[in-house]
């Protein structure tokens, strides 16, 4: 693989680690993270995210893990894989991305290539990140326009290039992994676009999908999750309507799903680092260019409000059963944003917990996938070890972990008092074994 690229990866999270491992099986790659503990764990073969196994890490024989930024100085291709969250006002928080750009800017040499994988709004890589790289490095960004304009040809020897290839990681999914999901690629000039595409084709067995501009690649990534967000919002609204009508939503969806072109979305909480976040990146950019998006934001409002809807339904059902809400003992099963993974980022289960606590309920959270230190740091929550038998006035199944499915209805019901309310958000139980379902 003598393509002249000396590869560095910035960030060793859900996106960066699988990338580092795959490249590290075939070519030298240096992977950098600021978290000393994270790097030490990975050197010992332990990925606490449970996305990569010790054997997979060990198989990356050409991979170097480091917290020393200077170790990257000889590299000439930097892949940035840091998070792009939102702030408390639901605005894009580019802090990690811009900080990573500053770090890389201090290492850049003429002719170097910087590839971004972080989810952003269209234009972010070139309009927000490139100026940071230029400022820190003193080099010029060489774009497609520059490449075509003879006036800018003199910049080629003193500039750097950009690529963008959005991540498509699905935490907890052991079938659709990095190498067998098609990768969108792009670059700031035609030649760089071809180089970026060739680089990823070295590891992506599913192939690549090159696009003409970086903005197209950025836009494609952000709408992937907007489409899912809106479809789930529709299911949530239908569930609310059908609940008011006394109709079983799951039965309706199964019936509708008997038609070949009905999409199999289900209602539920929408969190995580992608679906619950990415729409705000596009709506932010849309508003910046003078358009107020209505459908996207309507879907976001509905999905963001589902935790409060769930608690309102639970409290109503408890009241009907004459269960005193204040001081009631409530068990929430699941805290992660999705099933069978330890990922707590932007979990909307926290909305349920906070709302229950606002009613002065005594809330326990049970989640065998969660790292207690991480949940304490992120949400000031320490999950319990094992729930008590016949103890709870109400129980919410918020996440469909395999352990909860394996428990079965009898074991879950045994955790509650005889007159308790069980609310199954994820259709873990048969309809007759729960009091409420979405």
Residues with a catalytic annotation lie at: 274
DSSP string, 131-163: HHHHHHH-PEE--HHHHH-GGGGGGGGGEEEEE
Closest listed residue to residue 24, CA positions, set 76, 60, 72: 60
Q: Which residue is listed with tokens 């079983």?
A: 248
| Orientation angle between helical segments 278-288 and 295-304, nearest 10 degrees | 140
Spatial separation of the C-alpha atoms in residues 17 and 15, rounded to whole Å: 6
Spatial separation of the C-alpha atoms in residues 205 and 342, rounded to whole Å: 27
Spatial separation of the C-alpha atoms in residues 72 and 32, rounded to whole Å: 8
Strand partners for 79: 9, 115
Give me the phi and psi of 65, to 5 degrees please: -105, 135
Closest listed residue to residue 267, CA positions, set 247, 248, 250: 250
DSSP string, 171-219: TT-SSS-GGGS-EEE-BSSHHHHHHHHHHHHTT-TT-EEE-S-HHHHHH
- Strand ranges in 276-328 using DSSP code E only, listed in sequence order: none
DSSP string, 318-369: HHHTT---TT-EEEEE--SSSTTS---TT-THHHHHHHHHHTT-EEEEE-TT
Tokens of 260: 């070949």
Q: Is 421 exposed, middle or buried (0-12, 13-18, 19+ CB in 10 A)?
A: buried
């Amino acid at each position: 693989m003598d393509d002249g690229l000396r590869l560095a990866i910035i960030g060793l999270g859900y996106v960066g680690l699988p990338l580092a491992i795959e490249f590290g099986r075939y070519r030298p790659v240096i992977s950098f993270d600021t978290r000393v503990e994270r790097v030490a764990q990975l050197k010992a073969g332990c990925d606490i995210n449970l996305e990569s196994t010790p054997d997979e890490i060990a198989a990356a024989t050409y991979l170097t893990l480091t917290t020393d930024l200077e170790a990257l100085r000889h590299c000439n291709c930097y892949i940035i894989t840091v998070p792009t969250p939102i702030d408390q006002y639901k605005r894009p928080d580019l802090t990690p991305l811009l900080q990573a750009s500053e770090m890389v800017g201090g290492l850049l040499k003429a002719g170097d290539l910087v590839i971004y994988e972080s989810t952003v709004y269209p234009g972010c890589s070139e309009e927000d990140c490139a100026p940071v790289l230029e400022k820190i490095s003193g080099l010029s960004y060489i774009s497609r326009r520059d490449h075509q304009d003879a006036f800018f040809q003199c910049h080629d020897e003193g500039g750097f290039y950009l690529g963008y290839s959005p991540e498509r990681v699905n935490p907890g999914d052991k079938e659709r992994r990095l190498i067998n999901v098609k990768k969108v690629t792009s670059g700031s000039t035609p030649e760089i676009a071809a180089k970026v595409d060739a680089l990823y084709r070295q590891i992506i067995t599913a192939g690549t999908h090159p696009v003409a501009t970086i903005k197209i690649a950025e836009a494609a990534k952000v709408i992937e999750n907007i489409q899912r967000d809106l479809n789930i919002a529709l299911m949530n609204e239908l569930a609310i309507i059908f609940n008011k009508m006394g109709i079983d939503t799951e039965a309706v969806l199964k019936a509708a799903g008997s038609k070949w072109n009905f999409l199999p979305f289900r209602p539920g909480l929408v969190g995580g680092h992608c679906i619950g976040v990415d729409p705000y990146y596009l709506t932010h950019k849309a508003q910046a260019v003078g358009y107020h998006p209505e459908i996207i934001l309507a879907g976001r409002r509905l999905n963001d409000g589902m935790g409060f809807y769930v608690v309102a339904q639970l409290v109503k059902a408890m009241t009907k059963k004459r269960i005193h809400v204040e001081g009631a003992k409530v068990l929430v099963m699941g805290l992660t944003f999705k099933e069978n993974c330890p990922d707590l980022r932007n979990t909307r289960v926290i909305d349920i917990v906070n709302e229950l606590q606002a009613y002065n309920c005594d809330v326990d959270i049970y989640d065998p996938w969660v790292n207690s230190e991480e949940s304490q740091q992120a949400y000031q929550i320490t999950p319990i070890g094992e729930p008590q038998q016949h103890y709870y006035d109400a129980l919410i199944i918020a996440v469909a972990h395999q352990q909860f499915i394996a428990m079965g209805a009898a074991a879950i019901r045994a955790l509650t008092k005889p007159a308790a309310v069980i609310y199954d958000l994820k259709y873990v139980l048969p309809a007759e074994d729960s009091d409420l379902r979405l």
